[in-house]
Amino acid sequence: MDTFEIIAEESDVDKRIDLFLAKNLESFSRSYIQDLIKKGKVTINNKIIKANYRLKEGECVVLDIPKPEPLEIVPENIPIDILYEDEDVILVNKPKGMVVHPAAGHYKGTLVNALLYHCKSNLSGINGVLRPGIVHRIDMDTTGVIIICKNDIAHQHIAKQLANHSITRKYVAIVTGNIKEDEGVIDAAIARSKSDRKKMAVDKDGKRAVTHYKVLERLNGYTYIECVLETGRTHQIRVHMAYIHHPLLGDEVYAGKSGMKLQGQCLHAMVLGFIHPKTKEYMEFEAPIPEYFNEILNKFRKV
């Protein structure tokens, strides 16, 4: 069990204990801290307190964080659309709504659960028990091609290509508004949002992020585009397109509600190309555009 001790200062007087701890321990959510308070893991002067307790100056708040219980990720017989497979790598066309690897709130039904059933123990272990074989990921509501590594040697090779930006990654997306330019480059650093820790944002102090975009079709108030990633930051295309005032259709995080019945952003990882870790040959795979995406395009074309 890890223990944190924090002294309340003059500026903390009369603050609620849960808000005080959430501010001082940003790596823990307020809901998690409230749960620990309910379980009696927060004390002041050896006395268990409630979440609405108001602080006094100089009080020593003690928070005990229980060690996480080891999780067993269970193989699940979930159908997966395999684009290519050999003894080193497997490329999958991920459907909308599927989480890539287990995380808080998503320990079942993930791509990893499906891969453990399909590949048995033949997955790389570099990223730990929660992310076997996973060398990169795409968002839950983003569809398309993702590469998984079956052994650590393959994982190291693919990870190196990702790091030096030599992997080909082409996406297609539908964005709001008509983009005037036929093509362009967005070179804007991205970091965790300072106002909302669940979001990313353009930030000059963040990591460099570069997205190349090209207009494929203009659709009466929307634009169908291709994006090529030069870097691979979290939510990169979603953040960059919102930054130039053309957010992705259906992206409620960065664009708000669209008024259409959509399940997340209209974004599809269409092409992935890489140097095979064993043969050293360049290979490229394409995931067909999903049905929902084509239906939206056809609907806009008829307007």
- Helix, strand or coil, per DSSP, at residue 64: strand
- Between the alpha carbon of residue 216 and those of residues 142, 153, 160, 170, 232, the distances in Å are 19, 38, 31, 13, 22
SS3 call for 276: coil
Q: Can you read off the two tokens belonging to residue 88?
A: 């080193």
Instruction: Give the list of residues 6+ apart from residue 266 with CB closer than 8 angstroms, or none.
Output: 173, 174, 248, 249, 250, 293, 296
Name, in order, each residue with C-beta under 8 angstroms of 62's C-beta and a sequence gap of 6 or more. Answer: 3, 4, 5, 42, 43, 44
Q: How far apart are CA 185 and CA 132, in angstroms?
A: 34
Cα(145)–Cα(80) distance, rounded to whole angstroms?
11
Q: Is 81 one of the annotated active-site residues of the chain?
A: no
Distance of alpha carbon 249 from alpha carbon 121, whole angstroms: 39
Which H or E run includes 238? helix 236-243
Selecting among 139, 182, 187, 205, the annotated active-site residue is 139
H/E stretch holding 302: helix 291-302
76 to 79, 107, 113: CA distances (angstroms)? 9, 11, 5
Catalytic residues: 139
